Amino acid sequence: MKYRSVFDIIGPVMIGPSSSHTAGAARIGLVARQLFRTEPKKAIFRLYGSFAKTYQGHGTDVALVGGVLGFDTYDERLKEAFKFAEEKGLAYEFIEDDAVSAHPNTVRITLSDDEKSMELVGISIGGGKVEIKELNTFELRLSGNHPAIIVVHDDKYGAIAKVATLLANNEVNIGHMEVSRKDLGKEALMVIEVDQNVTEELLQEIATLPHINQVTKIHE
């Protein structure tokens, strides 16, 4: 695994007792909120492995709710996330699942409002670092620790190249990129981790490209 600085090795600035169970959980919740793009009304957290066994004692439950509310790992409001959830009208539920998962610190988050729902699977890999392994049944590998662009598009010739060219023309360097599709010619997904935050104007420009259906930004 590559680290950008000594602070990535020491661990994050955080509220809570555990970088894996608290900071990592908050980061997964925050990524889920950024991908959902609007204020969710309900959050279901299905917990696996160590998360399922120790989520209350290690503050994983509070951290997940706080992340979904938009609180980062160092935000003092994390400690009172349940209170803020009640104030904002966010309903939440924790489900302990005894199924064997690929990683002991795994959570499946389902967010919904009156119009849409979204599901993702995230794992906390230690030191506050996370990976998003699945988004709406798309398999992917997203760290959540770097700025990223998520592009839902039609699986058509040239769609990926046009996005990459537009980023290059705007001097945005791609650090990691993955593409996946559900079926030939159907809906597809680009996950592009970049070296710097991108502007809303650039996101809007990407959204106007042919065959692009949705563009979302995740920032640090």
Q: Across the chain, what does the average pLDDT equal?
A: 88
Q: Return the SS3 of 53.
A: helix
6-39: pLDDT as tens digits: 233 334 444 544 556 688 999 999 999 999 989 9
Q: Please give the Cα distance from 148 to 80 (Å, whole number).
A: 29
Delimiting residues of CATH 3.30.1330.90 domain(s) in the chain? 10-142
| 119, pLDDT greater than 70 | yes
Average pLDDT over residues 102-109: 91
Dihedral sign (CA 41, 22, 26, 96) = negative
Average pLDDT over residues 99-122: 92
Residue of 36 and 142 predicted with greater confidence? 36
Percent of the chain with pLDDT over 70: 90
169-200: pLDDT as tens digits: 999 999 999 999 888 889 999 999 999 989 99
The CATH architecture that domain 10-142 belongs to is: 2-Layer Sandwich (3.30)
Cα of 93 vs its chain's centroid, Å: 19
* Domain topology for 148-218: Alpha-Beta Plaits (3.30.70)
Q: Can you give the pLDDT at residue 57?
A: 86
> In 10 A of CB 162, how many CB atoms?
16
Q: Please give the Cα distance from 121 to 96 (Å, whole number).
A: 14
Delimiting residues of CATH 3.30.70.260 domain(s) in the chain? 148-218
